Structures are given as C-alpha cells and as structure tokens.
C-alpha cells in the first residue's frame, strides 16, 4: 500500500511512520507533506492507496485540499476534535485517529479504510460543515524550525513574537534567540490564538507577554517596545489602535 502522510508536526509524522512500519510493514510511506499547498501540488500528479491527514496544517485546514484536487484514496483523519465531530466522520464512512494515537485504534482504522471502495468515499464538504458547527477553531501550540540537520520544536509559550525582514519571516523567542521559518505572517496570523497574539503591523505579530511598553507616537500612532527588543520601531497604525487597545484589556 502506497501511503501518504499529510501532517505539519514533525513528532506526529514520526509517530505515524513508526506505527505504519511496525504494524503494516507491507505499506510504503512514499511522501510526507506539511501544507495544503504542498499536498495539492503532489496529489495533482500522484494518487496513493491510503492517506493519513491532519486537520490543521501549516497553511490552513485540510479540507482546502479537497476543494482543489480530486482524491480517490481512503483517508484517515488525525484530529483532536470532540465526539460530535467524530460522529461526522463515522457517518460519512471515513475513519479518524484521535491524538495521541492508540495502536489498536490505528489498526482498526487502517483495516476499515482498506475496505472502502471508491464509490463509498465520503462527502468531505459535509464533514467540513459539521466540523465548523461542532468544534471551535484550534490554534497552533508549537512550531518546528530546521537548523541544519536538526529539527527544533518551539512551544508558542516560548515565542515572543514573529516578524518579517528582507522578505523572510523570523521567530523570536523569549530568550532572545531568532529562527527563520517558511511561514508568512499572513499564514501565522490565522494559526495563532488571537487572545495571545496580535498583528501590530504588517511586519510583526507579538505575544501579549512580550509587550514592554506602549507610548504615543507621531501622526496619531502608537509605538510598542517589545522584550526582547527589535532593532526597528514597531508602530501601530491609527486605524488599528482601537482593536489593539481592546486586545490589551483582554476584550
């Protein structure tokens, strides 16, 4: 069985591949993809026998994939959604794995998916609609960055802010370390919890705990001092000030 893994978290990728190799050695993992865009590009010219797919990917939800490319393979969703959403998967003849993945449930899901014929494939649009009604949006709790041959896992609680510089995006940690990421600030804004993070400007998204001070600035703007400090001034435009002040007050 030619197997595709669509999962943006490296630890989850590793766990899935380990389970596949251990419990279904006849399977072959032919690709591991972290984003909606990457999955669409790959599936336009490839069709695996089975797909493991996370709901929340690096650049959006997995349901965007089905809107852009036809999938004829059985899909096992890996998710942290609640029981109501899980029922949606069952009703639509698709299976799921609730994280952290249980070995027995993994085997049962794979065996079930192997028996699904093409004409029994689910209505993914209906699943998406049911999910949106039964489960609040999930936000990223950690990010991975590549440093040479190493992969570093950063919890959002350790991230002070994200910023762009010379067409690149960087992650700044509370300890003052900085790492480059492939994600854009626009993509990050959709994935971060708005209670904790705010888009101060086109070039910076910060955590509430990283704001050291706020002061008035020229042309009715606000100047924000961050900790750790940024080399460039961080300014909040006049238009965004009301929303920013509400965010500071926890509204």
Domain at 157-248, CATH from 1.25.40.10, 2.40.50.140, 3.90.1820.10, 2.40.50.1020 = 2.40.50.1020
* pLDDT score for 84: 45
The residue extents of the domains of the chain are 2-134, 157-248
Asked if residues 52 and 16 have their Cβ atoms less than 8 Å apart, the reply is yes
Asked if residues 73 and 98 have their Cβ atoms less than 8 Å apart, the reply is no
Per-residue pLDDT for the chain (251 aa), expressed as one digit of tens each?
A: 899 999 988 888 999 999 999 999 999 999 999 999 999 999 999 989 899 988 888 888 888 888 888 887 888 888 766 554 555 455 444 677 877 888 998 998 888 877 764 445 556 666 666 555 555 567 888 999 988 889 999 999 999 999 999 889 999 999 999 999 989 999 999 889 999 999 999 999 999 999 999 999 988 899 999 999 998 889 999 889 999 999 998 86
* pLDDT score for 38: 93
Q: Domain 2-134: give its CATH architecture.
A: 3-Layer(aba) Sandwich (3.40)
């Amino acid at each position: 069985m030619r197997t595709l893994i669509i999962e943006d978290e490296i630890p989850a990728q590793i766990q899935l591949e380990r389970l596949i190799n251990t419990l279904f050695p006849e399977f072959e993992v032919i690709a591991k993809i972290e984003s909606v865009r990457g999955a669409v590009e790959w599936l336009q010219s490839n069709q695996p026998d089975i797909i493991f797919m996370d709901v929340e990917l690096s650049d959006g939800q997995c349901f965007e994939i089905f809107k852009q490319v036809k999938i004829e393979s059985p899909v096992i969703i890996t998710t942290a959604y609640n029981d109501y959403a899980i029922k949606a998967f069952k009703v639509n003849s698709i299976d799921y794995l609730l994280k952290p993945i249980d070995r027995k449930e993994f085997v049962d899901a794979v065996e079930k998916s192997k028996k699904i014929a093409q004409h029994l494939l689910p209505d993914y649009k209906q699943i998406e609609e049911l999910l949106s009604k039964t489960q609040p949006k999930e936000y990223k709790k950690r990010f991975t960055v590549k440093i040479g041959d190493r992969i570093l896992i950063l919890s959002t609680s350790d991230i002070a802010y994200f910023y762009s510089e010379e067409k690149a995006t960087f992650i700044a940690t509370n300890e003052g370390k900085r790492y480059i990421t492939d994600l854009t600030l626009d993509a990050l804004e959709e994935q971060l919890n708005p209670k904790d993070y705010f888009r101060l400007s086109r070039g910076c998204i910060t955590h509430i705990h990283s704001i050291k001070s706020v002061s008035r600035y020229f042309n009715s703007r606000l100047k924000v001092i961050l900790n750790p400090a940024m080399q460039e001034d961080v300014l909040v435009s006049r238009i965004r000030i009301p929303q920013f002040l509400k965010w500071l007050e926890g509204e």
